[in-house]
Chain A
């Protein structure tokens, strides 16, 4: 039990149950437990940094019959990002929900969401991935439905049914794998997998299910409505974390476990879908009329970049170049997590203060909410990929990898996506700096603004300037790159 991996999953689960039984003190329990869980996730990173990838067999049952928890550099760094975003959003949510009834329903589900995310990132076998995906989907849908209006309910029902379909298709793939290999453990599977039709069909089914869940173009249609109509802290977690962990499974399967099965054509196909997502998502974000809808479409676009990395990484020879491209992928995923959650939290502040989030009516926001406007600008910097944000370095490496692997066609896509991102960011800022007083009286300091500012600074400054540390961490401790 002295393993941080166990605690990172158990603590939020425990907290979720306690808040259910004791709703009156829910916010204290939520804050306390998320801070402790954050500390444990940092301990885990420290262990991975010093001792390489970690494995923990629950109850000392060997993998195969028992269930193993695993952490390598990828899962550990995503875990810390998730816990940082989660903790900051928890502080925000404490100030955000004023309705007592809503608060009572929010806390158990919120902590359950964290349990699911952490368990998914540390899962070492396919069936556990399925269970955690379902847990994640159910708590995310319930949180979306907290908004209590028609749009939110319709979006959450749609989210639920499409999510169920995705998990069932994933489960069908898992069934095929068990038929062929008789194991579900990812590490054992990686050793035994062969390039044969059964593995290909299984991978196709699992990827199809995960593509629905991670909203890759053209399966993104459910995302904007669900993410834009949820309460602000929930939207932040959905956009920054929930879709990203499905993408994490895709990466795990495509680059790590099934790497012998992948053909260049299939990698190219997923890259093309990613490129379409970049262009389409950015274009829709530019045309969006509401700030939260803009942020949701921007998520579609930013996830597209991550998919473009797949053909690049599989196309590069093993070694330094591949390592660099892989680290850039992780850096982009982390930066987007911080930036997007900051953007959603500030959209929530604007919505609270002004009573709406229509972009065309934002005039005067910069005077009334100077700090919030600053946070929106900072997260815009990270979404566009301007220095010193982490995404600047990541996109730079993305371009370099396109040249190294002789796949130049990704370069115009990245350029167009960045220009469109600049356009939609400046459109919001342009309206916000206009004359007017729609956002109410001047407010210099808001309790909700500090968590958002912290997240935005992580995206732009910490990850940008500290990326060298991440580079060492990933390249020394990843199971991936050796293939």
Chain B
């Protein structure tokens, strides 16, 4: 019988691997960025699974703080990637 925590952690590892594979094989920028997001979601899920300490105890706050920081970083990086892509597209259209 697998515990819920392990299940979530394994899911996280699975999502991370799917994202990693897609990042490496896709050539197109947009699909690569999407794949990176999937990859990131996998890592965050692993962190959240780590934080779980059973039903009686509250979850460990440190991994939650880490995930929050990680999400902020990932969102800003993605915004920048899209902005760069937009600029490149403008240059190509000229």
Contact = CB atoms under 8 A, between A and B. Distances in A.
Interface of A: 127, 130-131, 134, 137-138, 141-142, 145, 149-150, 153-154, 156-157, 160-161, 164-165, 167-169, 171-172, 174-175, 178-179, 184
Nearest to A172: B43
B87 A131 contact: no
B84 A160 contact: yes
Please list the 4 inter-chain residue pairs (A to B) with the smallest Cβ-Cβ separation, ordered nearest first. Answer: A153-B88, A134-B73, A175-B46, A157-B84
A127 B66 contact: yes
Given A134-B73, A160-B81, A153 B87 contact: yes
Contacts of A131: 69, 73
A165 B38 CA distance: 11
Contacts of B43: 168, 171-172, 175
B50 A134 contact: no
Given A161-B36, A165-B23, A145 B46 contact: no
Contact of B88 (A154, A161, A175, A178): A154
A157 B16 CA distance: 22
Contact of B62 (A137, A142, A154, A178): A178
Contacts of B47: 175, 178
Interface residues of B, number: 32
Contact of B32 (A161, A168, A169, A179): A161
Contacts of A172: 16, 42-43, 46
A171 B33 CA distance: 17
A145 B39 contact: no
B29 A164 contact: no
Nearest to B48: A175
A137 B74 CA distance: 12
Interface in B34-64: 36, 39-40, 42-43, 46-47, 50, 62-63
Interface of B: 9, 16, 20, 23, 29, 32-33, 36, 39-40, 42-43, 46-47, 50, 62-63, 66, 69-70, 73-74, 76-77, 80-81, 84-85, 87-88, 91-92
Contacts of B42: 172
Contacts, number: 76
B29 A161 contact: yes
26 contacts: A131-B73, A137-B77, A138-B77, A145-B84, A145-B87, A153-B87, A153-B91, A157-B81, A157-B85, A157-B88, A160-B77, A160-B84, A164-B36, A164-B74, A164-B77, A165-B20, A165-B23, A168-B40, A168-B43, A171-B43, A172-B42, A172-B43, A175-B46, A178-B50, A178-B63, A178-B66
Nearest to A165: B23
Residue from the set B16, B42, B69, B73 with the largest chain A CB neighbour count within 10 Å: B73
B87 A165 contact: no
Secondary structure type dominating chain A contacts: helix
B33 A161 contact: yes
Residue from the set A138, A153, A174 with the largest chain B CB neighbour count within 10 Å: A153
A179 B50 contact: yes
A59 to B, nearest CB: 15
A161 B81 contact: yes
Contacts of B23: 161, 165
Residue from the set B39, B50, B69, B84 with the largest chain A CB neighbour count within 10 Å: B84
Contacts of A174: 66
Contacts of A142: 80
A253 B23 CA distance: 26
Nearest to B90: A153
A444 B42 CA distance: 58
Contacts of B73: 131, 134, 167
Contacts of B80: 138, 141-142, 160
Contacts of B36: 161, 164-165, 168
A349 B32 CA distance: 37
B9 to A, nearest CB: 8
Contacts of B77: 134, 137-138, 160, 164
Contacts of B63: 175, 178
A141 B32 CA distance: 17
Nearest to A126: B66
B31 to A, nearest CB: 11
A171 B70 contact: yes
Contact of A156 (B32, B62, B84): B84
A142 B84 CA distance: 9
